[in-house]
Structures are given as structure tokens and as C-alpha cells.
A and B are shown apart, each in its own frame.
Chain A
Amino acid sequence: MLQTITRIPVANYSNLKARAGYSIKIDDKEIALFKTTNGIVYALENRSPHPKGGVLSEGLVSGDYVFCPVYDWKISLKDGLVQAPDTGYVKTFNIEIEKDIIFVVL
């Protein structure tokens, strides 16, 4: 099967503040963009894997983790895995940065 890879420019790298989350809507997909203190940018689906859902973009960012703002689950920004004692997984998206423009690869 043919797979289409789409690269969407979503933000300017220099505009993003560290330890902040940004919500970005691409068509009907909601993506949360995070920049860590070390300057790394991650993109995840903006939805907590908690059974009751909720957004991630307003969560507290600590290192390479974000804490889900409503149920306080700790989620790895690198691979989207929920940390113990909770379990679950958030879809992650690859990021490419060219000349200060951040692309999300869908």
C-alpha cells in the first residue's frame, strides 16, 4: 500500500518557550507541541490516554515528561508511554526542524 507522508509546518522554533505546551489543530487532529528546557521539541496527540480523556497541552512539563493536567498521569514525551503505576500510550509524531521552522510529520 502506498503511504503518503505529509510534513506540516506548525511553528517557529524561536517562538516556543521552554517548559510550555502548545495546542495545534491540523484538520481534525489535535496535536500538543512541547519544548523542554534542553530545547528539544516533541509532538504528541493532544489527548490523555486516561479513560476519561482530557488534553495534554496544559500539563506541567518536567524534563522529558509531561503530567496530564486533569488526572496527573506522567507521560514520556519521547515515546508517549505512560509511566508506572499507570499504564497507557499516547501517539507521538516525528518532528523536523529546518531554518527555525518546525514540521510535524504525519
Chain B
Amino acid sequence: MKKLVMIGNGMAGVRTIEEILKLVPEKFEITIFGEEPHPNYNRIKLSNILQGDTSFDEIIINPLDWYRENNIQLYTGESVVKIDAKAKRVISDQGREVEYDELIIATGSKSFILPIAGADKQGVTGFRDIHDCEMMIKSSKEYKKAVVIGGGLLGLEAARGLLNLGMKVDVVHLMPVLMERQLDHIAASMLKAELEAQGMNFLMEKETVEILGDERVTGLRFKDGFEVEADLIVMAIGIKSNTEVAKNSGIYVNRGIVVNDFMETSVPHIYAVGECAEHREIVYGLVAPLYEQGKVLANRISGFEAEPYKGSVTGTQLKVAGVDLFSAGEIFEDGTTKSIMAYNEYDGNYKRILTRDNRIVGIVLYGDTKDSTKLFRMLTKQEDISGMTSVSILQSECSASGTSSDDIASMPNDELVCGCNGVTKGAIVEAIKTQGLTTLDQVSHCTNAGRSCGRCKPLVSSILAHTLGDQFDVYAAQKTSICGCTTLSREELVEEIKAKGLTSVKEVMNVLGWNNEEGCTKCRPAINYYLGMIHMDEYKDDRDSRLVNEKMHANIQKDGTYSVVPRMYGGVTTPQDLIKIAKVAEKYNVPLVKLTGGQRIGLFGIKKEDLPNIWEELNMPSGYAYGKTLRTVKTCVGAQFCRYGTQDSMALGIELEKKFERLDTPNKVKMGVSACPRNCSEAGIKDIGFVGIDGGWEIYVGGNGGVDLRAGDLFCTVKSQEEVMEMTGAYLQYYRETANYLERTSKWLERLGLEHIQGVMANEETRKALNERMDKTLKKYIEPWDEAIHSEEIQEKYYTKHTIKVGE
């Protein structure tokens, strides 16, 4: 394998690696150096973090697992200080030396910090990475007054975030208008008025010459002698490509690292991509062109013929503090241009189209940006507009979608609709036609269009309307269906099953007009679940509508082998069971024997054809470690042995596990039982957790220790073990009947509300009815491993591998 090293771990670089892995998954041994101590995250969303809309975890694009799964050696918190192009190796600041065959420089950029006195004081920051964000959030807790230097996009977003954090904010700008590279005077003054109304204070045409203060900033002084107070200064004047390592290593650098149309630098086998690269004298800072560069570079490095990168015309869709803006091309008139303008001060809308020789060369839209896609297309395609009236150019049609049918009809098939994911009109139309799609949601699922920034959704919707013609239903198109095979939502599906008395997956799909005759991996398991929930013990499970793990009653591993986890009620075992497990592990050369997170023993790496024999020799029930069902009930030792235990946690755990095992639920359910509030079984992060107290049990619900980390809410306190069983049965059944398939209890509880569920459970009659339906459902289950051992048909269909030797 060849060695590929990348310096930098940001959006453009990692996107390039993703593209390379798609093209040639096995070709390179990849090493990435990242200066920041994090995996790759979405820098565009930093302003959302600052504004408190999202958390850092939510903006991570490639979690550490991604690097591991793709065998990428990642060094975080480590930067490369030297490239030895002769020996083809890089040297890090920690002295690490790594050799390469191909090297990508994707070092990005940093905030440009004004070279003025005092710029190194405490409380001065850029706005570029998560560290800057955290510093600003922390400052807002101790200090009151912030000054943002720079009235461009980044500066205004930082200012809006600081207002949200409760600070008083001045914005200092060198120019007389805000965002002068994107907006003309009228749009800029409308924006300024809006932001002033939101509480920002502007200091225009001010040049900062000194930052005041001792150790920490106290204010700043302008060229005209004017001074303002400040506890925090954010510099958002622009970016500067990170080029030091390239420059020091003899690579040609201008403003950025200079690359040709294939992203190659002046030194062979060294490439640059992203904000550190300068292509045809332009350094791009927006994500779409950087992703385009990444694609070109990936093709080049992978050895495929690639179209050269010819530069990008960028249109900027911005949302600043709730105001929609769009800007593309030229902004200012120069004597050869003619403008078409529409200015509606009353509604706060403004449009200006700049034309030259009957072609659009610039667009500024403020407020209403519906037409941006159409106009931007006319700009990039250099369409002749001489036949159009200015009104038809400016006016958005009154349809729900904003783009008329004529526009769609005249749009060529190879035209890009979703720039983020590279989806063309042709691909969308084809997906709609061949897969019978009718909603926006379905189109997004099938093509990826509209799944990143969402800006193309109106256009996708227009294409959908145009392609479907009379069959297009505006309202249906907006709704969230359970999958691309139907327009029905979960509620409608359950209603229809009940109303029409449907009893099999096939019947549901036939009667309710599924557009894929046999459904997909999203709807088939869901329908199977809903049917079982509705018809209780009268429904015959459709095993082939379950996904691999539930179908096989074992967890598939990444190499196609399986794991076996036998039941160990309440985490309590016996010497006999341990001996059986040990013997099986030895006899079948099981590669891994491991204690699972749910207090039992897992055997990993088992061949599918060995499963029935292993189950037979174990002679233990399935632990359902693979199912959307009750997994385990984790228990502490409790009153039987522990000197702190107030209740018999093991006995309750075993009773719960024996009663509810095998039950189908919308998603997996985990329980924990602790005998005292020390809570050794971690019952507070289980779907249902039980904590013994003097004279009873506390029941906690909606806890989650996984992806959606959430502490459980105290649901109620009961006196006896019988009451625990009664409440748990009713609660679980209510979850089964009202949750969406695949919805964990934590999300379900937040959707319905704790108080609502408490209200339902307060009624004894309701609980009784729920428990009756639960008990009727539980009657249908049989032990699946035992069933498999005794059925040749099941073994033949699911667990046989036929081996044929040719020529024998």
C-alpha cells in the first residue's frame, strides 16, 4: 500500500480523504495530523454554537470511530513543522517522522489578527475554531461588554452570538457599509437598521490603532482618537491561509499555497486543498468550492482521469441574525452595467440584478431569496435575457415553489441542483420516475439532494411538481412519510391497519398502495412491528421482514461472523453455566470471549453455520442482545449480600427479565435495578430504572446511556414488587402502542411529555387494560434458539453454508 499523509484535519481535507476512500478504499495507508485536539467538525456551524442552538457533539462530521473504521492513523493536537520533500517525509512538533508517497496540505486558515499594539492581551480572540467559541462563551459569564472588529459575515454572526450570550455589543467596521463584498449600499443599510433594532451598536468607518488595558483588555482606541470600553475583543476581519509549513519547506506560496488545476503544488507529490490553497490567484473560503477542489484532488491522487478544477463562481446564501441574504457575482455598477431593481421598504425586500450585454453578472437579494437558484443559474449559464421583461426576471411566481414549470422544463438535465452533494436535475427526475417518489422527503432519501444546507429544497420541490404534473399534491409532498415507499405517516399507517383490518406485511403494502411492491429496509420491519403490536398474539411474525440481526437471532459482525450472548437473568449465573460456556468457547475456537455491558458473557466471531450447534450445546435461552426488545436487566447485589442494600434487587431484576424477555418493542429497552440510592446498577440511565428505598421502590424513566445521554426522570414511587411489575407492564405497553418504530423511550418521553404519561398511568383502569394487552402479547413468544435447533427448515434456510468443490 502507498502512504498518504495529510497535514490538517478540517472540512476540505477530510472531505478529500472521504472521496479517495470511495474511489480506492484499499490503495492508501492514511495518516492525518490535526493541530486541534478534535476530530473533523463543521466549522460553518460555530456561530450556531455561539448562539446556543447546538452543541459541539452535534457538529462533529467525522467522529473518531470513522477514523478507526477506515484505518486512518490520526494524530490530534500535533502539527507538522517540516516537510522534507527529498526524503518524502514530514516531521511533527513532537518529533514524529512519517514517510509519504503522496502528501496533502490542508492546513486551512486562521483569523487575521490586526498587527497593532495590545493585540496580544487577554480577552482578544479571533473567531475561527471551537476554542475561540468556548473562550467567548466563558467571557460572557464574567464580562459585560464586547467589541467585534469587522462588519463582514463572520463579524456579524459573532456579534449576534454575543448578544444571545447577554453581552452588550459594538461592531467596529472600517468601511462605510456592512458586508461590502456581498452587499450594495441599499441592502447594507437595510441590514444595519435591522441589526440595530436587535440591539447591535455600530461604529462605522473606524480604524482601530491600539488595544488598551494592562494584562486584560479594557478598551480600544481609533485613529481619530475616539476610545470605547471593551472586556472582550473579537477580531473578524478576515482569514489568512496557513502557509508556514509549506513556505518553510520550499513550496511556492503567494497569498496561499499556489496550486494548478489539479491541486498540485510546485513540488511533485505534494498537493494543497481548501482555504490554504490559492488557485488562479483566488483563495476560496466557502465550502462548496472547497468540496469541488477535494473531488478533483481525490481523482488525481487515486489515479483517475479527472476534469481539471477551473475555479468556482460562488453564490453566497446567508442568514444573518434571522435575515435571508443572497449575493453572487459583481456588486457595483461600473458604467458598462445596467441594473434591474425592486425595492419594497415596507415588506423589507430588496432585489438588484446587475446586467452587462444582456446577461446577468451580479445578484443581491435581501429578505426574499426564493429566486436565488433561478437567478444564479441564469448568471452561471450566461443566459441571454433580452427576450425577458424585467418584471418576469424579478418577480417570483405565486406558486408554492417559487420556480415556474417553464424554468424547470428548460433546465438541462446535467445542471447541478444540489451543489453540496453534487446532484443533477437529471438524477432527481430519474429517481422520481423510476422509484415512484411523491414527496420531498423521499427525494432527499433517494438522492441526497437537500440533505446538507437545504438551500435547494424549493428547487427540488419544483422539479418534483413538474415531473409529477397533475399527480403532485402540495400538502402530501411536505409531510414526513415512514419511508420512500409510501406517503403515509406512522399515525396514518397504524390507523389504516386497524380500520381495514390488515393482517400481513404483504397485505399492508398491497392495499395501501406501496410504490415498491415489497418495501424496503425502513418500512418492512416497521410494518411487521406495528402488526404485531396491534394484533398481539394473533399475528404471525414475518421473519424475512426483519433485518439481519433479528432474523438470524445473532449479531452480525463486520466480517460476516456472528456473536452469541446467552441469557443470564439479572446478571446472575452458576458454575454449571460458566462451564458450558467455557467448553463451547474452547471447542469452537471462539476468537473472543467478553463480558458485555449488560452483565453477561458474549462469544464473538462465530461462523453462521456453527450457530445452531453452539446454541444446542449451550442449552441456554437467547439473551436477545441483537433485538429491538428487552435487552438485559442489570442488577446490583442488593440486600441478599450487600450491607447497604435495602431491597432485593437481584430478585426483582430476574422477575422483570423473565416476564418481559422476547417482547417486541419499537427499539431496544434496557433496565436496571439497584437496592439503594448508591445505584450501582446505574438505573438512572436506563429506559426504566428501579431504585430501592426504605419501604419501596423509586421508578425512573427515559434514561439513556448511549447516543442520547439523558438522566432518567423520577416517574413514581411504589411500595411493593407487585406494584413495580404492574406499573412497568403498563408503561412498556403504552410505549409500544404510541412510539414510532425505532424511537427510544428517551425521545418518546420527551415527545409526549413526562406529565402526560404520568397522567395516563395514574388511571388504574387504563393500567389494567394496558397490562391485559401486554399479557396477551407475551403469550405468543417462544424461545428462538430452541426453535432453530429443532427445525430443519429454519436451519436450511438461515444457517447453512453450502460448500462445493469443483472437480470432485
Contact = CB atoms under 8 A, between A and B. Distances in A.
B544 A20 contact: yes
Interface of A: 6, 8, 10-11, 15, 17, 19-20, 22-27, 37, 51-55, 58-63, 67, 69-70, 72, 74, 84-85, 87
Interface of B: 21-22, 25, 69-70, 421, 423, 427, 431, 446-448, 516-521, 524, 544-545, 547-548, 551-552, 556, 558-560, 608, 796-798, 800-806
A60 B547 contact: yes
11 contacts: A19-B544, A51-B70, A52-B25, A54-B559, A60-B544, A62-B516, A63-B517, A67-B521, A69-B547, A70-B556, A84-B448
Contact of A58 (B524, B551, B800): B551
B560 A54 contact: yes
A61 B518 CA distance: 8
B547 A25 contact: no
Given A20-B797, A58-B548, A60-B521, A25 B806 contact: no
Given A22-B800, A54-B556, A58-B556, 14 more contacts: A10-B802, A20-B544, A22-B802, A23-B801, A24-B801, A24-B803, A52-B25, A54-B558, A59-B548, A62-B519, A63-B516, A72-B521, A85-B446, A87-B22
Contacts of B796: 15
A56 B102 CA distance: 34
Report whether over half of chain B's contact residues are helix, strand or loop; otherwise say mixed. Answer: mixed
Contact of B802 (A20, A24, A59): A24
Contacts of A54: 556, 558-560
Contacts of B552: 58
Given A22-B802, A62-B520, A72-B521, A55 B22 contact: no
A76 B806 CA distance: 28
Nearest to A67: B521
Nearest to B522: A72
A24 to B, nearest CB: 5
A68 to B, nearest CB: 9
Chain B CB within 10 Å, residue with most, of A11, A59, A60 = A60
Given A51-B22, A60-B545, A84-B446, A25 B804 contact: yes
What 8 A-B pairs have minimum CB-CB distances, sorted nearest first? A69-B548, A51-B25, A62-B518, A85-B448, A55-B560, A25-B803, A67-B521, A58-B548
A8 B545 CA distance: 31
B802 A23 contact: yes
Contacts of B551: 58
A78 to B, nearest CB: 13
A1 to B, nearest CB: 20
Given A19-B544, A72-B521, A84 B447 contact: yes
A71 B803 CA distance: 26
Nearest to B449: A85
A71 B401 CA distance: 34
Nearest to B552: A58
Given A58-B548, A58-B551, A84-B446, A67 B804 contact: no
Contact of B806 (A6, A24, A58, A87): A6
A53 B779 CA distance: 40
Report whether over half of chain A's contact residues are helix, strand or loop; otherwise say mixed. Answer: loop
Nearest to A55: B560
A20 B798 CA distance: 8
B520 A74 contact: yes
A17 B797 contact: yes
A63 B798 CA distance: 19
Nearest to A15: B796
Contacts of B519: 62
A103 to B, nearest CB: 11
Contacts of B559: 53-54
A26 B798 CA distance: 19
B160 to A, nearest CB: 34
Given A62-B518, A74-B520, A25 B544 contact: no
B518 A85 contact: no
Contact of B520 (A20, A24, A25, A67): A67
B69 A52 contact: yes
A11 B519 CA distance: 27
B313 to A, nearest CB: 26
A33 to B, nearest CB: 9
Contacts of A70: 548, 556, 558
A25 B801 contact: yes
B497 to A, nearest CB: 20
Contact of B524 (A27, A52, A62): A62
Given A51-B25, A72-B521, A25 B560 contact: no
A25 to B, nearest CB: 4
Contacts of B556: 54, 58, 69-70
A87 B544 CA distance: 25
Chain B CB within 10 Å, residue with most, of A6, A74, A84 = A84
Contacts of A26: 804-806
Contacts of A58: 548, 551-552, 556, 608
A101 B149 CA distance: 79
A7 B805 CA distance: 12
Contacts of B21: 51
Contacts of B558: 52-54, 70
B447 A61 contact: no
